[in-house]
């Protein structure tokens, strides 16, 4: 494909941004040099087309009729059969719509990607199919996945299965709802600030954010490379553990991975909690102006059940968990997302590994075409991040990243005394859905004000499982269990012990009425 050459006007804009002052003769020289360099771009385009590019496979898909999509959770339905045998044979799985399924449309909750059709399955999709699962569709996610609530998707709000006037949690909103309603056995979600665990909590299902780098992110649309996670969601711990065993492990493509160890979570799932030390994280409870006492009480009651099973319970502390961690996350997510997801069209540059040039090109054009339709939470990040990068020069991102090791050290210090840490996943109950035309401040705060307990572990990479711990005012409350990095099997083992002690969790009213 011929690459359009820059004009003098293009280089005047570039020169101004860099602070250059060019004479007319210098300008002509630089334009001539650009013409030579762009010959290489055209050569690379031909080589890529001949050696790497693929055509999307032919796969059937359809939009779910409104009557079958009352909660707004389905993006498209399909039926892609996996291997005839395997640990997930007979299981149906829905894929969060920021994860590529070849030949099936992908929107990432946004008009800026709507209509894009990937040519290759994401690594997690390949592994699920190889393990025998059937991919039955794509689930709606929030606009570019930048919301912990469920009202920002371009397709409309995703409604809580327990109360359709409330948020289901985000950004893996559709995944959680479809699992909760029993329309699928399991789901894939993504997590940069809590986006697996938050919708799991408010929708009443089990969700696990793996250790950073354990599961390859290859083929999922990124937000910020240092906090990107993808992981499993299901109605019970065993299915989550089975999924994690299938999708974990290096794929040789994802730059986030650094030789992760092998996992076999199912093998130790039923070993119980006798002899384990559980730390109630002080800073995760009674958060001033945030925590609901009902939520704290139900989570502490859940821990009491673990104590009856032989665990020892005490109080743990990580002083930066409260307040400081969110300041770190705000800087990293704002500058990082503006730099990579927006200015870098998802993938950014400067690292080895997997890139998807087709989606970068498609998104780069469409996000400008549909700029005014982006959610206010995305535009807030775009504007503040652009200002910060241009005027603060990325220095505050660098400062935040240099402070993350201290936050990590505080949790690791707590793990010297406790095997796992426990706190509420969400500090308060599911909130009412916010109107799409709400004032900007209300819109953004209601999309992002629930990350206090979840986001810190995206920064530090510790594995964390959210599991339902009871109902308050008819809405699910969840307990979050956190362990040292790469001890995902331990987190799920504790969750399994609690699930067995708790018994079957109630189904949402709509499911009960069937």
| Token pair of 112 as six digits | 């800026």
Q: Alpha carbon of 339 to those of 228, 329, 383, 387, 474: distances in Å?
A: 14, 15, 11, 11, 41
Q: Which one of the listed residues 77, 91, 96, 209 is annotated catalytic?
A: 96
| Token pair of 447 as six digits | 């999309």
- Residue 450: closest CA among 469, 474, 424: 424
Strands 92-96 and 74-80: unpaired
Determine the 3-state secondary structure of 167 from DSSP. strand
Q: Alpha-carbon distance 22 to 75, whole Å? A: 51
Q: Which one of the listed residues 110, 112, 139, 171 is annotated catalytic?
A: 171
| Token pair of 298 as six digits | 């139900």
Q: Alpha-carbon distance 200 to 215, whole Å? A: 19
CA 101 to chain centre: 17
DSSP conformation class of 468: E
Phi, then psi, of 167 in degrees rounded to 5: -70, 145
Q: How many CA atoms lie within 13 A of 292 on its CB side?
A: 20
Residue 195 catalytic? yes
CA angle 132, 504, 486 (to 5 degrees): 55
Q: What is the residue-wise DSSP string for 253-275?
A: --TT-S-PPP--TGGGTTS--TT
Residues paired with residue 478 on neighbouring β-strands, in sequence order: 468
End-to-end Cα, the chain, rounded Å: 55
Residue 171 catalytic? yes
Q: What is the residue-wise DSSP string for 258-320?
A: S-PPP--TGGGTTS--TT-EEEEEGGGSS-TTT--HHHHHHHHHHHHHHHHTT-EEEEE--GG
- Residue 177: closest CA among 209, 152, 201, 148: 201
Q: Alpha-carbon distance 382 to 355, whole Å? A: 22
Q: Which one of the listed residues 110, 112, 155, 195 is annotated catalytic?
A: 195
Catalytic site positions: 96, 171, 195
């Amino acid at each position: 494909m011929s690459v359009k050459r820059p004009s003098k006007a293009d280089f005047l804009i570039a020169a101004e941004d860099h602070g250059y002052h060019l004479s007319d003769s210098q300008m002509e020289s630089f334009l001539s040099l650009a013409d030579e360099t762009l010959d290489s771009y055209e050569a690379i385009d031909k080589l890529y087309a001949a050696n790497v590019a693929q055509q999307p496979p032919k796969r059937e898909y359809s939009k779910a009729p409104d009557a079958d999509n009352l909660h707004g959770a389905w993006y498209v339905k399909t039926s892609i059969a996996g291997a005839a045998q395997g640990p997930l044979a007979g299981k149906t799985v829905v894929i969060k719509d920021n994860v590529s399924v070849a030949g099936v449309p992908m929107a990432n909750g946004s008009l800026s990607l709507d209509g894009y059709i990937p040519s290759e399955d994401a690594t997690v999709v390949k592994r699920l199919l190889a393990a025998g699962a059937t991919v039955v569709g794509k689930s709606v996610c929030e606009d570019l996945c930048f919301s912990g609530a469920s009202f920002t998707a371009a397709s409309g709000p995703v409604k809580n299965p327990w109360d359709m006037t409330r948020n289901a949690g985000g950004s893996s909103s559709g995944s959680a709802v479809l699992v909760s309603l029993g329309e699928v056995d399991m789901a894939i979600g993504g997590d940069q600030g809590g986006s697996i665990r938050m919708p799991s909590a408010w929708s009443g299902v089990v969700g696990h954010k793996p250790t950073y780098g354990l599961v390859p992110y290859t083929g999922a649309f990124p937000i910020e490379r240092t906090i990107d996670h993808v992981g499993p969601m299901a109605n019970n711990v065993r299915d989550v553990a089975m999924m994690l065993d299938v999708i974990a492990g290096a794929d040789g493509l994802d730059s986030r991975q650094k030789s992760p160890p092998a996992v076999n979570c199912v093998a130790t799932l039923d070993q119980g909690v006798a002899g384990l030390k559980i730390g109630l994280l002080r800073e995760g409870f009674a958060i001033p102006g945030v925590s609901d006492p009902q939520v704290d009480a139900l989570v502490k009651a859940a821990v009491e059940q673990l104590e009856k099973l032989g665990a020892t319970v005490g109080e743990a502390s990580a002083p930066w968990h409260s307040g400081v961690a969110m300041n770190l996350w705000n800087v990293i997510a704002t500058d990082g997302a503006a730099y990579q997801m927006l200015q870098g069209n998802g993938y950014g540059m400067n690292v080895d590994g997997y890139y998807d040039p087709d989606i970068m090109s498609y998104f780069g054009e469409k996000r400008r075409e549909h700029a005014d339709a982006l959610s206010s939470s995305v535009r807030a990040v775009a504007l503040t991040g652009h200002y910060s990068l241009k005027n603060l020069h990325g220095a505050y991102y660098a400062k935040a990243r240099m402070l993350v090791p201290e936050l990590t050290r505080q949790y690791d210090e707590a793990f010297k005394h406790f095997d796992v840490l426990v706190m509420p996943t969400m500090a308060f109950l599911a909130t009412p859905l916010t109107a799409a035309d709400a004032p900007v401040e209300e819109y953004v705060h209601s999309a992002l004000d629930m990350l206090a307990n979840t986001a810190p572990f995206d920064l530090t990479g510790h594995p964390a499982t959210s599991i339902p711990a009871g109902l308050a005012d008819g809405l699910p409350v969840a307990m979050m269990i956190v362990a040292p990095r790469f001890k995902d099997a331990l987190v799920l083992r504790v969750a399994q012990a609690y699930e067995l002690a708790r018994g079957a969790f109630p189904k949402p009213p709509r499911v009960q009425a069937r």
